[in-house]
């Protein structure tokens, strides 16, 4: 069973990387289209990605070296259907009339290899019926095609990457994998009781105010944009032979402040990230933002997330003393408390933060007429 460890771990690792890369674009798309994140649907989709990649890796990993494959004997594909039945009867020690042999026969590779192939595609049948709403015959066809994909991949040495096949292509695997998909389809009504249903349509929210997650996504986009501008400025300074390090902190703070002050003024309370997430800042008095309100919001937000970080980095480069250590710990404490506050507010599903109240502003979701 240890042979399965590498493909399982590799499949999980690759899947998590893909999910990490795609999660923010997916959430932005869903906020724009559905006015909210479809949590259950995302869990189903990401679990399907995890399953498909891991299942495929189970059929090709671990990968041998080119020299190992070149020196291997040529593998002759098994084209005899149901050969696994004969192998089981000959190799497992199973005797139908002797119950004592039944349990021990299950430990034979001739049994658990077939059982693994059956279980490998069983989830595929469940996904196709439960979430893709496939009919029986459509599930059968796709199960056959998936199994055929596995066998062709093995037979061709991963489509010519290797000089020849390093795993045996087997018609029995094709049969058993297809049966596994069908079995998954048949047991879905039983498993469906425990499986989540996915959301459909627009997410209805009771509040006009934007959630912390939605605001956070907008902030991620905005920070990414500002960092691009910072890199452009650094490149320009480098081209003209100016020492970037001298002005790095000033450029960083200046661009963050300019972006978060000028953008809302020009675009009526929106930054680019907010436009993307369909949210905006308004005044609680008359809806029209005042310059003072934007200044207060920006200095609190940029002050905690950017300026304090720069100060702490600068302190770490100074000669250590009790004063610098205390100041550094104080800055760390403020930042940690800020993030802890956001996390608590997120868990409590609160939508109005302390700097909203201080600045007399709110972050609202744009109505359909404003989109």
Same domain assignment for residues 82 and 194: yes
Q: Write down the pLDDT at residue 63.
A: 87
pLDDT (mean) for 280-298: 91
Q: pLDDT category, 186, cuts 50, 70, 90? A: very high
20: left (phi over 0), alpha (psi -120 to 50) or beta: alpha
Same domain assignment for residues 148 and 89: yes
Look up residue 2 and give its DSSP letter. G
Indicate whether 101 pLDDT > 80: no
Same domain assignment for residues 196 and 221: no
More reliable by pLDDT, 286 or 189: 189
Residue 70 domain flag: no
Residue 318 domain flag: yes
Closest CA to 282 of 303, 302, 267: 267
Locate 170 and state its tokens. 């087997």
Same domain assignment for residues 231 and 181: no
Indicate whether 187 pLDDT > 90: yes
Segment among 11-15, 53-57, 325-329, 342-346 with least mean pLDDT: 325-329
Residue 371 domain flag: no
What CA–CA distance (Å, rounded) separates 366 from 38? 19
55 Cβ neighbours under 8 A, 6+ residues apart: 11, 120, 121, 123, 124
pLDDT (mean) for 179-198: 91
Task: Classify each residue of 21-51 as buried b or exposed e, where b means 16 or more C-beta atoms within 10 Å of its C-beta.
Answer: eeeeebbbebbeebbbbbeebbebbbbbbbb
Same domain assignment for residues 216 and 162: no
Indicate whether 316 pLDDT > 90: no
Q: Write down the pLDDT at residue 94.
A: 67
Residue 256 domain flag: yes
Same domain assignment for residues 24 and 127: no
- Residue ending a domain, among 159, 174, 200, is 200
Q: Write down the pLDDT at residue 370.
A: 61
Q: pLDDT category, 171, cuts 50, 70, 90? A: very high
Same domain assignment for residues 22 and 53: yes
Q: pLDDT category, 222, cuts 50, 70, 90? A: very high
Q: pLDDT category, 245, cuts 50, 70, 90? A: confident
Same domain assignment for residues 267 and 313: yes
3-state helix, strand, coil in the chain (%, to 5): 70, 5, 25
Q: Write down the pLDDT at residue 371.
A: 58
42: left (phi over 0), alpha (psi -120 to 50) or beta: alpha
Same domain assignment for residues 225 and 360: yes
Q: Write down the pLDDT at residue 204.
A: 59
Q: Write down the pLDDT at residue 88.
A: 74
Same domain assignment for residues 196 and 235: no
Indicate whether 369 pLDDT > 70: no
Locate 349 and state its tokens. 């599903």
- C-alpha distances in Å from residue 135, one per residue of 61, 142, 174, 322: 32, 11, 20, 71
Residue 280 forms beta bridges with which residues? Answer: 364
6 Cβ neighbours under 8 A, 6+ residues apart: 61, 62
Helix (H) or strand (E) holding 300: helix 291-302
Q: Write down the pLDDT at residue 1.
A: 53
The beta strand positions in the chain, using DSSP E, are: 279-283, 361-365
Judge if the upstream peptide bond of residue 14 is cis by omega within 30 degrees of 0.
Answer: no
Question: First and final CA of the chain: distance in angstroms?
Answer: 55
pLDDT (mean) for 100-120: 79
For 168, list phi and psi in degrees, rounded to 5.
-75, 125
Calculate ∠ Cα 51-202-371, nearest 5°.
120
Place of tokens 């891991």: 54
pLDDT (mean) for 59-64: 88
Mean confidence (pLDDT) of the chain? 87
Q: Write down the pLDDT at residue 270.
A: 94
Q: pLDDT category, 329, cuts 50, 70, 90? A: confident
Range of the domain at 38: 1-62
Locate 134 and state its tokens. 């496939």
Domain count, the chain: 3
Residue 69 domain flag: no
Same domain assignment for residues 298 and 216: yes
Locate 167 and state its tokens. 């795993």
Q: Write down the pLDDT at residue 195.
A: 87
Q: Write down the pLDDT at residue 2.
A: 61
Same domain assignment for residues 54 and 98: no
Q: Write down the pLDDT at residue 149.
A: 96
Q: Write down the pLDDT at residue 123.
A: 96
Residue 206 domain flag: no
What CA–CA distance (Å, rounded) separates 352 from 269? 16
Q: pLDDT category, 29, cuts 50, 70, 90? A: very high
More reliable by pLDDT, 132 or 326: 132
What CA–CA distance (Å, rounded) separates 352 from 367? 18
Indicate whether 96 pLDDT > 80: no
What CA–CA distance (Å, rounded) separates 333 from 28? 31
Indicate whether 303 pLDDT > 90: no
Look up residue 108 and give its DSSP letter. S
Q: pLDDT category, 237, cuts 50, 70, 90? A: confident
Share of the chain above pLDDT 70, in %: 92
For 251-263, how does the pLDDT look when each residue is reduced to its tens digit (9 = 90+)? 888 999 999 999 9
What CA–CA distance (Å, rounded) separates 139 from 181? 7
More reliable by pLDDT, 197 or 49: 49
pLDDT (mean) for 93-110: 71
Q: Write down the pLDDT at residue 203.
A: 60
């Amino acid at each position: 069973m240890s042979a399965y460890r590498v493909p399982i771990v590799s499949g999980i690792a690759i899947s998590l990387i893909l999910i990490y890369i795609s999660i923010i674009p997916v959430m932005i798309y869903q906020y724009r289209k559905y006015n909210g994140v479809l949590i259950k649907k995302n869990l189903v989709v990401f679990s399907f990605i995890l399953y498909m990649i891991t299942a495929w890796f189970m059929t090709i990993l671990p990968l041998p070296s080119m020299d190992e494959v070149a020196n291997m004997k040529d593998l002759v594909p098994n084209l005899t259907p149901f050969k696994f039945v004969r192998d089981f009867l000959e190799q497992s020690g199973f005797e139908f009339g002797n119950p004592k042999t039944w349990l021990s026969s299950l430990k034979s590779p001739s049994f658990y290899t077939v059982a693994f192939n059956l279980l490998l595609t069983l989830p595929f049948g469940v996904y196709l019926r439960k979430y893709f709403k496939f009919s029986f015959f459509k599930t059968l066809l796709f199960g056959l095609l998936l199994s055929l994909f596995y066998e062709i991949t093995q037979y061709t040495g991963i489509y010519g990457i290797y000089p020849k096949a390093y795993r045996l292509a087997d018609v029995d695997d094709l049969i058993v994998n297809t049966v596994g998909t069908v079995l998954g389809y048949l047991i879905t009504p039983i498993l469906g009781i425990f499986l989540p249903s996915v959301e459909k349509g627009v997410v209805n929210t009771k509040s006009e105010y934007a959630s912390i997650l939605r605001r956070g996504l907008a902030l991620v986009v905005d920070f990414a944009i500002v960092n691009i501008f910072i890199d452009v400025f650094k490149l320009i300074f480098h081209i003209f032979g100016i020492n970037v390090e001298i002005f790095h902190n000033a450029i960083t703070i200046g661009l963050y402040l300019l972006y978060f002050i000028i953008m809302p003024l020009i675009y009526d309370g929106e930054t680019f990230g907010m436009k993307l997430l369909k949210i905006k800042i308004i005044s609680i008095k008359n809806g029209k933002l005042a310059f003072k309100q934007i200044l207060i919001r920006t200095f609190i937000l940029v002050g905690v997330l950017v300026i304090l970080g720069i100060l702490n980095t600068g302190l770490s480069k100074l000669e250590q003393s009790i004063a610098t250590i205390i100041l550094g710990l104080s800055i760390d404490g403020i930042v940690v408390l800020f993030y802890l506050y956001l996390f608590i507010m997120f868990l409590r599903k609160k939508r109005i933060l302390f700097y909203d109240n201080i600045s007399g502003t709110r972050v609202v979701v744009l109505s359909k007429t404003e989109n």
